[in-house]
Structure 1
Amino acid sequence: MAQADVRVAEPADAAEIARIQLDTWRAAYADLLPPDVLAGLDASNAEQSWRAAVDDDATTLYVATEGPWIVGFCVAGPAPDGEMALADGSVPEDAATVGMIGTLIVEPRWGRRGHGGRLLGTAADGLRKAGMTRGITWVPEADVVSGAFYRRAGWAPDGTLRTLDTGGGTMRELRLTGTVELTVR
């Protein structure tokens, strides 16, 4: 296996990040999202969004590499109030120290090689350095693989569900949370 690593993304990485996102969503979410939604994903728009994410000071975009290839990515930063709100809409007492993993994707052909763990571990390190003590993420309820990945890291559902309109139906997501002192990498 070539050298595996994680680094902060650069603007030149945006096109590859977009490609990985779209290819992975089309493969992994084929049963979760309507076909017309997946077919309508636009690479140019995705690339522009990821280029903006690289420049966003509020979050950090990391890329996993194996040799010269980008094989996955992760976005982490402080959790917005609406993402961590309690059932009554209020924010938790520890709101100032809650970080969020907004996206973590490893291209399926590079799976099972530790890239996801390295991405999550690096993101958790970054969150800790920023003063965060706890993290959250949202995972499609039907995505048992991602749910199991976060559970192995020590995160668990906190009982909060949300329903998203996919443009052709709905998809339920559950919120997982745990310490940024992870048990796996």
Structure 2
Amino acid sequence: MAEADVREAVASDAAEIARIQVQTWETAYAEVLPPAVLAGLDTAEAEQEWREAVTSGAATVLLAIEGRWTVGFCAAGLAPESEVAAADGTLPEDSSTTVLVSALLVEPRWGRRGHAGRLLATMGRRFTERGATRGITWVPESDSASLSFYRSAGWDPDGTVRTLDAGGRPLREMRLTGPLDLELEHH
């Protein structure tokens, strides 16, 4: 395997992040999202949104690199109260130190090579150094690959679910929570 690494994204990476997002959604979420939603994905619009995310400092965006290729990315930041609150609206004691992993995508053709684990572990380490205590993320109930990955990292459903409107089709997501101090297995 070629050299694999994780680095912080910069503004000039926005086009590649958008490409990975759109291609991965078209491949990995073809059974989850309606065809009209997938057909409506706009790479140029996504690129502008990622450029803003990278340059505004609102989120930390990391890239997975293999050799000379960017193969995945992870975006995270401190979780807004609305994302970490219980279903009844109450906030957990650690709400101010909880990180929301808003995106973690690796192109399917680069999957099963440790990139997602490196991204999550690196992100976790960065936020732990800043005083964060745990992470959360939302995963479609039908996304067995992502659920399996997060469970292998020690992240489990916390009992909170939400239903989003995905182009007129309900999309149920489960909130997962887990540790930020992840150890990678080296093979």
**2:19–2:43 contact (8 Å) kept in structure 1:** yes
Relative to structure 1, the CA distance from residue 156 to residue 183 in structure 2 (aligned partners, 3 Å threshold; closer, same or farther) is farther
Residue 164 of structure 1 aligns with which residue?
164
Amino acid at match of 2:152: R
TM-score computed with the length of structure 2 as normaliser: 0.96
Structure 1 equivalent of residue 86 of structure 2: 86
- What corresponds to 1:115 in structure 2? 115
Q: What does residue range 173-184 of structure 1 map to in structure 2 within 5 Å?
A: 173-184=173-184
SS where residue 103 of structure 2 aligns? strand
Greater mean deviation of Cα atoms: 32-41 or 52-61: 52-61
Give yes or no for the alignment of 1:60 onto 2:86.
no
**How does the TM-score come out when normalised to structure 1?**
0.97
The runs of at least 4 consecutive aligned structure 1 residues that moved more than 3 Å come to none
State the secondary structure of the residue aligned to 1:25.
helix
Deviation at 1:183, TM superposition (A): 4.5
5+ residue gaps in structure 1? none
Query: What residue ranges of structure 2 are gaps of 5+ in the alignment?
Result: none
Percent same amino acid among aligned pairs? 60
CA–CA distance in structure 1, aligned partners of residues 31 and 149 of structure 2: 19
Q: Following the alignment from structure 1 to structure 2, what is the Cα–Cα distance between the partners of residues 57 and 130? A: 14
Q: Which residue number corresponds to residue 150 of structure 1?
A: 150
What displacement does 1:96 show? 1.3
Q: What's the CA shift for 1:58?
A: 2.7
Matches within 5 A, 1:34-73: 34-73=34-73
Task: Tell me the equivalent position of 1:124.
Answer: 124
| Cα pair 2:16 2:70 within 8 Å, conserved | yes
Deviations 1:11-55 (A, max 9, x none): 111101100100000011111111011001001100000101111
Aligned amino acid, residue 139 of structure 1:
V
Distance in 2 of aligned mates of 1:41 and 1:120:
25
CA distance in 2: counterparts of 1:133 and 1:184, whole angstroms = 18
Deviation, structure 1 residue 184: 4.0
CA contact (8 A) 1:22 1:43 kept: yes
Q: 1 CA distance for matches of 2:5 and 2:86?
A: 36
- Cα RMSD over matched residues? 1.0
Q: Supply the distance in 2 between the matched residues of 1:180 and 1:50 (Cα, whole angstroms).
A: 24
> Amino acid of the residue matched to residue 173 of structure 1?
E
Distance (whole Å) between structure 2 residues aligned to residue 87 and residue 174 of structure 1:
12
Amino acid at match of 1:50: W
Contact persistence 2:121–2:183 (CA under 8 A) = no
Distance 1:61 1:42 in 2: 20
